[in-house]
Amino acid sequence: MHHIASIKCQNRASHKFPSFLNKGQPVSKVARHKVYESTRTHHTRANVRKKMDYLEQENRLLQEEMAAMQAKMDEMTEKMKTMEQAQTLPPPPPD
């Protein structure tokens, strides 16, 4: 029995820790507390209201993006029309 205990002590003594752990600070070996995350969504009035608020907000943002895109498309259409008109103008007569 004495022999086994001395082997264990030798193993502990020979074990090298990384240098960043040897600064006199104790190493925590306690597992971190896991935060409970629900795997099921309950359909309460509050949760339904939150979901509807989120969807309405997302819908407003999408409508604003669509309006901005529509304005850009109208602007590009006008530019293309002016470019087409500039290309179809007859060349000036030679003097």
pTM of the model: 0.47
- Could you tell me if residue 58 is inside a domain? yes
Give pLDDT tens digits for 13-54. 445 555 555 566 666 677 777 788 778 878 899 999 999 999
- Could you tell me if residue 70 is inside a domain? yes
At residue 27, what are phi and psi to the nearest 5 degrees? -95, 125
Give pLDDT tens digits for 43-94. 899 999 999 999 999 999 999 999 999 999 999 999 999 999 888 877 777 7
- Could you tell me if residue 4 is inside a domain? no
Please tell me the total count of domains within the chain: 1
pLDDT of amino acid 44: 93
- Could you tell me if residue 59 is inside a domain? yes
CA–CA separation, 52 and 72 (whole Å): 30
- Could you tell me if residue 23 is inside a domain? no
Q: Which residues of 66-82 are buried (b: 16+ CB within 10 A; e: fewer)?
A: eeeeeeeeeeeeeeeee
